[in-house]
Amino acid sequence: MKFSKLSQLVLVSTIGLLLALCLTSCEIVTIDYVFVAASSGNGSGSAGEIYTFAADAESGALRNGPPAVSSGGNSPVAMAVTADYYNLYVANQGSNSVVHFSVADNGVLTKKDSVTTATPPVAVYANSAGTYLYVLTGTTTATLTEYSLSSGAIGNIVAQEALAIPGYPSDSVVPTAVTVLPNSDAVYATVYDQSAYNPGSITTSNANPGWVFGFAVGSGGALTPSVDSPYQAGVKPSALSPDPTDRFVYVTDYASNELIGYGIQDGEELEFLVNGPFKTGNEPSSVVVDPRGIFIYVSNSLDSTVSAYNISLPTGTPSATVNPTSAQSYSTDTQPVSITVEPALGRYVYTANHLGNSISGFRLNPSTGVLTQTQATPYPTGENPTAVIAVPHGNHAIQAVFH
């Protein structure tokens, strides 16, 4: 059968339109860049690297982004970003340093400056205004240091607090995590008393093992202990996260396999939530509240799972009813030690898997909180990843709750 020239033109135009639609629908759109800190070798002093992945907007699947860069030191253990997502900070435990990187629109990291800490850093966090960086350091003593920030650059020490257990000043104290409230800038740091909790060895103290220290940030960055601080926090607190409305703080207890919830009173004081603590998987290592303040996700390092919870908004109580028809946990690769929810859509969850040398990805149902695995998960990383964090790409709306 022969076609007229007009028919041929219409046919070619139609095919071209269909191909264009197909290519558009199949186009990979990056919604976030996901950064993972890992060691490039097997030793505790191995040089660190930061790996960059691009997250697909439609599926949450990760693909390799810009080439990995040096973390600027050895054994990176934690990362933080400023609220505008233009600055990233890496704590290198093996070289007593915190390194500042700028984050380009295409995900490229460029080293800018660094500071040397007196003892190994274990955690780092920037306040929402981008004016202070909080670094938690130590191995048998714990110190919280507040550095000034100027356009992302790390400046001088503004304030410094030794975190000692009340009544037990000579006990060995191990720091674990630090965070800042999104809106009020109150600061919290977790520690545990190794003299009171030291499995496989002798204990020399009858102090309560786990604690949360709270501080209000005053004029010029002055740190003032919260009323009744420090607050008891189980046996071995390992991580903490506030909700985006400054109403609640959640702490994982690595030793007791529990999630401890606190209500925030008068800006920074903590009070236990009723009916707590709440059951997790084995050895919970990291916790995150989704940007809408509706769901909590906990990575369980021994189980290689993620536990999910609804937040009862009036009370802050975590409820394990996200997926009531099946198990309340989701499988990851081996030993997830860090967890994040990407900020651009608030639709994808990622864990850094220390022994799996990988990232696990999940799609978050924003209505139910249920997780389903992303395509081709897990995604290979360098050796022994320890931290994962995400920044939005482009001018996508950030799915956080602001008040």
CA distance 222 to 207: 29
CB atoms within 10 A of CB 139: 14
Output the pLDDT for position 319: 87
CA distance 192 to 197: 8
CA atoms within 13 A on the CB side of 119: 15
Per-residue pLDDT of the chain (403 residues; tens, 9 = 90+): 444 444 444 443 444 444 334 434 446 799 999 999 998 755 555 689 999 999 999 999 999 999 999 999 999 999 999 999 999 999 999 999 999 999 999 999 999 999 999 999 999 999 999 999 999 999 999 999 999 999 999 999 999 999 999 999 999 999 999 999 999 889 999 999 999 999 999 999 999 999 999 999 999 999 999 999 999 999 999 999 999 999 999 999 999 999 999 999 998 999 999 989 999 999 999 999 999 999 999 999 999 999 999 999 889 999 876 665 555 689 999 999 999 999 999 999 999 999 999 999 999 999 999 999 999 999 999 999 999 999 999 754 455 433 2
Output the pLDDT for position 79: 98
Measured CA to CA in angstroms, residue 66 lies from 49, 110, 366 at distances of 13, 11, 29
Angle at CA of residue 295, ends 290 and 301, nearest 5° = 85
**Candidate CATH numbers 3.40.190.290, 2.60.40.10, 2.130.10.10, 2.60.20.30; the one for domain 32-392:** 2.130.10.10
Residues with Cβ < 8 Å from 169, sequence gap 6 or more?
none
What pTM does this model have? 0.90
Question: Where do the structural domains in the chain lie, given as residue ranges?
Answer: 32-392
- The 10s digit of each residue's pLDDT in 236-260 is 999 999 999 999 999 999 999 999 9
Output the pLDDT for position 185: 85
Output the pLDDT for position 323: 61
CA distance 182 to 374: 29
CA distance 172 to 192: 9
- The 10s digit of each residue's pLDDT in 100-124 is 999 999 999 999 999 999 999 999 9
Please report which helix (H) or strand (E) contains residue 308, including its range. Answer: strand 305-311
| CA 403 to chain centroid | 22
Residues with Cβ < 8 Å from 176, sequence gap 6 or more?
122, 123, 136, 190, 191, 192, 236, 237, 238, 239
Cβ(231)–Cβ(262) below 8 Å = yes
Q: Which of 216, 241, 234, 236 is nearest to 226 (CA)?
A: 216
